[in-house]
A = this chain, B = another copy of it.
Amino acid sequence: MGHLAEPLRGVVAPVFTPFNDDLSIATDLYTAHALNLMEIGCGGLAPFGTTGEALSVKRDERVNALWALREAGIDPAKMIPGTGLCSYGETADLTRACLDLGCAGAMILPPFYYKGMPDQGLYDWYAKVIELVGDDLRLYLYHIPQVSGVGLSVSLVRKLRQDFPDQVVGIKDSSGDWENTKALLNIDGLIVYPSSETLMLESMALGAPGCITATANFNAPAMVEMLAAHEAGNEEDAALLRNTIAGVREATVKVGFIPVPKAYMARKTGDSRWANVRPPHVQASEASAQTLQKEIDAAR
């Protein structure tokens, strides 16, 4: 069964990465936003995921930003940053830097340039990362085939978990495929995070510790409340909250998780820098942010 890593529980936020007008990381906004998410009651942070524009941010920028979170008072043991790059060597270097900082683990994409690689090749790649990083790696696989173009089959995940029980501790399943999430939840000792808060309670009933969801960036309070209601046995309240949460998510899914929600953050906070995105993303219009705000307000 191997090592049982202590998972981050509840709502884990894949933090947006705010940028100044020159597109450098806005460290002040970043730390304030992260602190706020933890104060709201998030169980942890997953910085530099897809929503955090990870692949648009240099490795040293990522590490510096994580240090800034730590210096701002966030326990790095509450963070699972994304560290997946295309080469196993660069992935291992970045992962090592995150572990040295005290992070609970790292969320690692499969190598996503070459498509259609056999499971054996993906297995060998992760094995190389584990070998290079060392035994203290706590690896969360990151399955988001609709973006990365490279998926992780359930049988590959099972084999990695079996062969590296102390290192391969979990997976974030962003496929949105509930059958896939359920199959992963059946793998012995594997920590599984679904990517939608609408499936959080169902996943937790099957053993998941919580979820990692992009909308936590601006809707975490309702999710934390839903979870509290559920844990207090108030299933009626939990169901009502779930409906509003589903409405907010639906409004967001329609416009995508990055530019429009960031422009919405700019409206909400009054800090226009929130609307900045790095290319290849394009800043959303004020009008689209307004529409999202209206739809979110209507859902609530």
Chain A residues proximal to chain B, CB less than 8 Å = 23, 50, 55-59, 61, 85-90, 93, 110-115, 117-118, 120-125, 127-128, 146-150, 278-282
Contacts and interface: CB of A to CB of B under 8 A. Distances in A.
Contacts of A59: 90
Interface centre among A89, A93, A120, A280, by most B CB within 10 Å?
A: A280
A282 B121 contact: yes
Indicate how many identical chains form the complex: 2
Contacts of A124: 279-280, 282
Contacts of A282: 117-118, 120-121, 124
A106 to B, nearest CB: 17
Contacts of A280: 110-111, 114, 117, 121-122, 124-125, 150
Nearest to A258: B114
A55 B121 contact: no
B88 A56 contact: yes
Contact of A57 (B23, B58, B87, B123): B87
A125 B277 CA distance: 11
Contact of A113 (B61, B114, B147): B147
Contacts of A150: 280
A110 B280 CA distance: 9
A115 B147 contact: yes
A162 to B, nearest CB: 19
B279 A128 contact: yes
Contacts of A128: 23, 279
A168 to B, nearest CB: 16
Contact of A122 (B93, B113, B149, B279): B279
A17 to B, nearest CB: 12
Nearest to A23: B128
B114 A112 contact: no
Nearest to A59: B90
Contacts of A88: 56, 278-279
B117 A281 contact: yes
A88 B56 CA distance: 7
Contact of A56 (B61, B86, B123, B146): B86
Which 3 pairs across A and B sit closest by C-beta, in order of nearness? A124-B279, A121-B280, A55-B113
A26 to B, nearest CB: 16
A47 to B, nearest CB: 15
A86 B125 contact: no
A147 B115 CA distance: 6
Contacts of A110: 280
A123 B93 CA distance: 30
Nearest to A53: B114
A57 to B, nearest CB: 6
Nearest to A117: B280
A101 B121 CA distance: 33
A87 B55 contact: yes
A150 B89 CA distance: 24
